[in-house]
Structure 1
Amino acid sequence: MSEVEDSLIHKCYSKSISGLLLTSLLCVFMMMYLLVGATTVKAEESLSIQTIYHVYVDDKHIGFVNDEEVVETIVQEKLEEGKSEDLEVSLHIKEELEVIPEFVFHTRSQNKKVTGVLEEDLTVEASAIAVVVEGEPAVYVASEEEADELLKEYIIQYVSKEDYEAFLDVLEEEEMDTSDLEVDERMYTDIDFNKEVELEEATVEPNDVLSLKDALTLLKKGVLEEKVYEVQEGDVLGSIANDHDLTLKEFLSLNEGLDEDSLIQIGDEMNVTAYESVLDVVTVQVRLTEESIPYETEVKEDDSMWKGEQEVTQEGKEGIQLIEYEITERNGSLMKRDVLSEEITEEPVNRIVVKGTKETPSRGSGQLGWPAVGGYISSYQGNRWGRFHRGIDIARPSNYDILAADNGTVTQASSQGGYGNVVRIDHNNGVETMYAHLDSIDVSVGQTVSKGQKIGVMGQTGNSTGIHLHFEVYEDGNLRDPMDYLNR
């Protein structure tokens, strides 16, 4: 075979071998492709991507759930439990709660476990405004508006709403001019609390947030503080306890060494509890008032008038003055009152009384004067109507004044049975005179009277048939006939 033929045959063989190899490789790759494709389809048919939600409470992983609404449901239930029917409060979960999704190829979950942990561990808080007194929270309310209203309501317990609003208006205008006040008008120059009060945001348990009404009641009531009580007359252990809203057991627990059978004495000191105000309202007001100025009584002596006699020669009259006060009150009770200005608009008029200084001799002259102003003797001493008439009766005078028959000392000025109102005068010379049936008496026992001085008014008291004076005379204790002593 020629070299040309051999070369040609080798070329054709090589070509045939290369084609076969290529074809074989293509078949292998095709089979592998079909096999891999079939496997992928099968896997996709059996697996799918799922989402789970990991739950963290305060950065601690407590499990995972297959639906984030599982967590949301627990949260809403907790918030509903914390709600109040009568109060709108902003509520939230106290703990930091975080839900993080993850894509997985399985559908397992821990819903029951996570639900149990959340129900046990989650707590509810309320956003509130604290009314802080001297750095300590006194009450909590739902909003700043309610806190402002609470403080206003607390103030107007002791200041009228109109006065408080007028004060705020003046305060805003920065004008405190009291010069135009009318009588009985007032202007508040300061209304404030006795302690520093601030409003602060706070998070508290929902039950600690109070309605406006309950918060006001709590502020009014104050806080319980231990006090010392001094035993008063009539106190017993039970009454002391009751007066301080304590049971007997509570009261005894505050007083070591005391039991139900213990005896207590006036002045003993006992420990009790009493409500002390959290906050006081202190007000300062300027008030203009019109007040009377009392008049004085001026006494003048007159030696032409008998001693014991007096006469009002000028009636007194009160004056008038305008006084401007600055009044400080605590919870409506007066603390102090200062006078800012005074103006007298009408001077008082003194009452003038003239008193007699003329001395009256107490010893009679022995010659009796007529004891009435005119009149006549309607009945003499002697037997009358079957019985003895002990004196004389004087009737129908020109006026009803009864006069002392002589100088002397009054020994009786009172009522005496059938004689009615009686005056007796001892003339200090053995003679005594008696004046009966008086309507009124103008002298008193021990008084010295002069002859002719008025001692009473004629009347018909006692056993009397008409207005008249019954007049009797005694000497050395014995009844005498008045006609023997009268110049008639």
Structure 2
Amino acid sequence: MATSKLVKRLCQSVALFSLISVSMIIGIQPASATVYNMMKPVYHVYIDGTNVGTIDDKELFTKKIDKMKEKRQTDDLTLMVKNDLEIVPKRLFQPSYDNEETLDKVDDELTFVAKGFDLSFNEESVGVFPSESKAKQALWVYAKPFLSEEKVKEIEKKVEEDEKKHPADFLDLSTPFSIDEVETKKENVLTEKEGVTRIEDGYMKEVEKEVDEDKTLADFAEEFDMDESEVRELNNLSKKDKIADLEKVKVLEKQIVKVLETEEVIKDEEIDFETETTKSDSILKGEKKVTQSGEKGEKKVTYSISRENGEVTKKDIVKEEVTKEPVKKKVTIGTKVIPSKGTGTFAWPTVGGSITSKQGERWGSFHKGIDIAGVSDRTIKTVDNGKVTAAGKRSGYGNQITINHNNGMKTTYSHLSSISVSVGDTVQKGDKIGVMGTTGKSTGIHLHLEVYKNGNLQNPMKYL
């Protein structure tokens, strides 16, 4: 009879346990909700894997941790629990717990350490900062001077739109950065100024270099500012090993974080005009005549400019838009050649006029040439093709021009008021060479003309 009652109670217990289990698996049904509510929640506290007690209010534990942190807080460093801490919730009908004893054990066994934020590039640490925002601020202070004003304004606007972001979040760097939570000590924490200096100084990165047979281990150590022992250790070299036995040698090379920026810039630029030349035999050879002035055009050019730490590394043209077409400059080049050899036949040297004095004896001396006067237009012209060999003042003759006709003949023109040619000029029969005057020993305005053949004086009347 006793056995039957025991079995019956066991069956009732199994049924109740099953009901509770099913209700937890498939959801609380109206009948089982009452059973579930009869169970009380508690929290088992584990420190480094060991159960140190049970509490019935999780908030008590949270407040306890906050008080412990507050009590141990120093400077502006954040504290964090060093232990492996775990809170496991459970529901029981008649749970056993002791809040005070459990919290006392927590007070005794929990260890707090200062929390820092390690800023690193390619897993190479720059240093530890008291907060993530201060690590980012040091990076922003370093980078900002390398950015254009437009880029700084663009980043600041993005931060205004998303207050959770820091300007450093929008930087484009040659090496990506990371900020990790680490355990630290007060003396190891950097100020903003110290952090900026560390970033400026760069960080050391392990790289491989080709081994040059002319370089020794000491050469590599000196080049990369390392001790020889450091180079040996990095390359697993014993004192007997030689660096020449390696194909590549590992060294620590300083890496500077570069601030990258790419921007588009639109500039107004000039377009040079072309010069179009044509030839003409109506213009003397060597002379040029501009028949149409050139005008520069205008265009808008869009450039994509890449910079590293403020220095331009690449400049590409993205687009060009001509806003004003250039106008060609047109030049006509003369091809006409003036013969410097005389024809042998002389033209009259003045515009009209008459001979006022012939060649021969006159006033007790010999008059070498002829005088022509009585003109309204005082232009003096060359009698034949030739080259000017003299043009200037000559004693007694005043302003005088001498022309060699390159056929044995030579003529001189004297007493001119002004000269229109220079020594070396080539002239053509009938070209203006000066103006009639009365310079030198002269009794009035006239032209004194002399003619020579092979150096011998000739009578001009034989050729005119």
TM-score grouping bracket, smaller chain normalisation: 0.3 to 0.5
Tell me the TM-score normalised to structure 1 length: 0.43
**Higher-Rg member (1/2):** 1
